[in-house]
Structure 1
Amino acid sequence: MDRLAQKAVMAYGRATRAMTLGVRAMLVRDGHILLVRHSYVPGWYLPGGGVERGETTLDALVREVREEAGAVLDAPPVLVGLYRNRKVDPRDHVALYLCRDWSQPHPPNLPNREIVACEAFALERLPPDTTAATRARIAEFLDGRTPGQDW
């Protein structure tokens, strides 16, 4: 999806919903975390996306990690927190899940329309252009801090 289409989808969502909801996954294993690069925004992100009408957050999480990372959750994830994402819109919220037991049986064919890269990085050696919000969530996890309210 290109940037113009992404902006149009977000504008439509803001105009028609009282609140928008997304999910993100911290896919952690053996001291590494899986991150993705999107085609329409710069930087490395936790895999995730929007919760569609009729989906639970868990349904959306399973779908998004499969689509973006080719990953499958092999055990139930743990809800870390629910954040307000006011940088996007004051009505936008993100549910963050910790996923320690996962596999990647079908890595995505990259680059594609949405994801241009998907890689595992050592938790202590994230790429320089990892987004600030992604870094903050990983730091909270590593330090055992209580999550804040804002993404």
Structure 2
Amino acid sequence: MRYLPISIDSRNKKVLIIGGGKVAYRKVLSLLRGEFAITVISKDFHEKFIKLYNENPNRLTLKMHKVTKENLKIDCDYLIIATYDIELNDYIETIAAMDKLTYLRVDTKSDSNFIMNKIITKGDISISISANGKNPTLTRVIAKDIDKILEENKVEE
């Protein structure tokens, strides 16, 4: 198993997401379940980002500008590369790897050194599911089944 499912302390940790599309949005939704300070940089944002920002202004920062090789500044504990520009993603990944950053590239199977698992949380119970990035459909089906089991056993939120 390449990726070991672990739980990390999200307090006082910074996440930088480069890209503002649907995948970036879904990553932010997951990260907001923790206590991360999240910055998203993109030339444009998926329409749902504004509502999400308004609901989380102390934890979510949106910076609207195009990321280029010239203006790239990476200051974070975790980096998520989520643009639609493959050449830019290649460049960012190269920098991240050279600087030994903890990063996830979402557009390709790369040398990312972390992945984000599907998480089901009910009360004090958290269950993490992963197909190591290879079968997200199966992961969603299993998550629904687990959620149903937790509800049937009256696990409270």
The bucket for the TM-score relative to the shorter chain is under 0.3
Structure with greater strand percent? 1
Q: Given the two structures, how large is their TM-score scaled by the length of structure 1?
A: 0.27
Q: Which has the larger radius of gyration?
A: 2
Q: Given the two structures, how large is their TM-score scaled by the length of structure 2?
A: 0.26
Taking CA–CA contacts closer than 8 Å with sequence separation of 6 or more, which of the two structures ends up with the larger relative contact order?
Answer: 1
